[in-house]
Structures are given as structure tokens and as C-alpha cells.
Amino acid sequence: MSTLCVRFLLPPMYEAAMPRLLLLLGEFSPVVEALPPDAALVDVRGAMRYFGRDAVELASVIRVRALAHHGVDCVIGAGPGPMLARMAARGAAPGVTRVVGAEPDAVAEFLGPKPVGELPGVGRATARTLCSYGIDSVGKVAAAPLSTLQRLVGARAGRELHEKAHGIDRAPVVPNAAARSLASERPFPRDELDPTRHRRALLSLTEELGARMRDEEQVCRSLTLTVRYADRSTTTRTRTLPEPTAHSCALTGSAYRMYEALGLQRARVRGISLRAEGLAPAEHAAHQLMFDPVDDKARRIEAVADRARAKFGPGAIVPGTLAA
């Protein structure tokens, strides 16, 4: 086993702890790939040689440190590659590392009984096509001739499906991928029923995320809103933005529309979190030009406010709604 998939059992509204947890994983290996919102892949080949421990022993140390330093438990899957490690983590239990051996027999024993839809990259349409021909398990996919799979799902998809069914995973662990999302949350000191305070929390979140992305010269493609209620249940909604942006006004408008679409009626809200996903360099993002002086003015004011915050601190300039 050379790859670990670590999924942290984060309490609701605790996604902002992920950067610290990723730093913890970085103490064991520099090859860490974040899987937002709560998981990461770790290539531990170098760590096994450096620490003189196998992957299972390293997983135990990671679990203990996550609990001791951050109070967060985790489930861990170990395998010879990212695909098998991720699949192992799905069925793992807290406190036990689920291991898939690198031997062909061990891989076949692990993958064979699983439904074909559990293979990464197999969507509903592909699974439905395969099942209509009686190929409803990964073991049957592995036993089917490559030419048959290619006739059913296409040449390239059939070849990839055949390889994955045999446990062949060519995808590497990509390091330094932690910046694919940014998250922040606003818990309330008591159950909050006032929609005005909910919207103020959303405005605060979009202002913070927008400033962080502009500071890092990034834009996001989508927003995910999570609302946690008094009974600890949550509602999550994701919306793709019209264009990648870090403009606070655009983020705020999308966040407000997601909140309004929930139709909350006197809901007792404990907290609200917002996650900016699909981050990409701002220099590669296209912006639709608008002959709107209001939008241009808002962007110029935003740039001036960013410079003021960089010089005098994040609280130097805030929207009037938040000033109170």
C-alpha cells in the first residue's frame, strides 16, 4: 500500500479546519491532494522509508494526531493507488484502517462483488447500459472481453473501465491541490429565527471569501451554502456562477438567491457556512464586459477597499450593514 485516503469526520460548520488538517498530513508527506470538503489523498511511499513504518502504522499515527491536536476523528482507506484507497475509505469505520492489498487476488476479492456503479467514472447512464447486458458487478466487468466493453461504452471509456475493474489506476496523487476550495462559517450564539441576521451572516461570508480569493488572485466557479438547524440537521445547496469570479457583489447575489430558494419559514438556524469551489487563477478567467457604470464603480471601490484592508487590517472597511 502506498496511498492513504483520509476522510475527516468534521462536525457541521467545521469545514474551515481543513487547512490545518492538511498541514498535519503534510508533516508525513509532501504529496497531499485535498479532496474538498473533508478528505485528502496522501502518497506515503517516501514516508514509509523515512519513518520506517508501513502505511497502516502511519494511518494510526495520523488518526491519533488528528484527535489529539484538533479533536477530529477520521476514517482511512489504504491501497496501492488513489482509486482503491478512496474506495476502501468509503466502507472504513473510525478507528480501523481498511486496507486493499496490491496483490491481484486481493484486488479482485475487494472489487469483484461491488456494483459496477461504484467504480470511479461510471455514471448512471454507463451503469444502466452495462446492467442491461447483465454486467452488473465489477467482477463481471473484469471478466468481460475488452472488445465487448468498447462496443458497449466506446473505445476509450471501455479501455479505462477494463483497467479500473482490474485495479489498474494511472492517476497520480497531485500535491498542492488544497486551494480548490475555500470555506468559512458563521455560527450563531443562539437559535436564530431572524432572516435579516441570516442575510447579514451571508454578506459577511461573501465579503470574507471574496477578499481571500482576490488576495490569492483566484476566482471560483460555484458556491455551496450549508444551513445548520437547531436539531443538528443541515441543508446544502450548490449553485454554479454565471462566470468565475471573486467579486463580492456577485458572490453575495448568488448566496442570497440560494438562501431565498430554501424558503425558510421561521427556521431555527444554528449556523451558516459558505464554500467557494472550483478555484482557478484569476488571470485565466474571462469577464463579460458590461456597459454598467454601477458595476464598474463597485469594482473600483472594491479594489480601493482591498488596498485599505491590506494596510490597516480586515476591519478597516466593511459594508454598512455589517458596521452595526
User: pLDDT tens-digit profile of 25-73?
Assistant: 999 999 999 887 788 999 999 999 988 999 999 999 999 999 999 889 9
CA distance 247 to 321: 18
Rounded to two decimals, the pTM is 0.62
Q: What was the pLDDT predicted at 324?
A: 64
Nearest CA-CA partner of 211 in 296, 70, 314, 57: 314
Here the cell at position 304 is 480601493
CA distance 318 to 302: 10
Cβ neighbours for 284, distance < 8 A, ≥ 6 positions apart: none
pLDDT digits (tens, 9 = 90+) for 189-217: 889 999 999 999 999 999 989 988 888 88
Whether the ω angle into residue 37 lies within 30 degrees of 0, i.e. cis, is yes
Q: Phi and psi for 102 in degrees, rounded to 5?
A: -85, -10
Between 170 and 179, where is the model more confident?
170
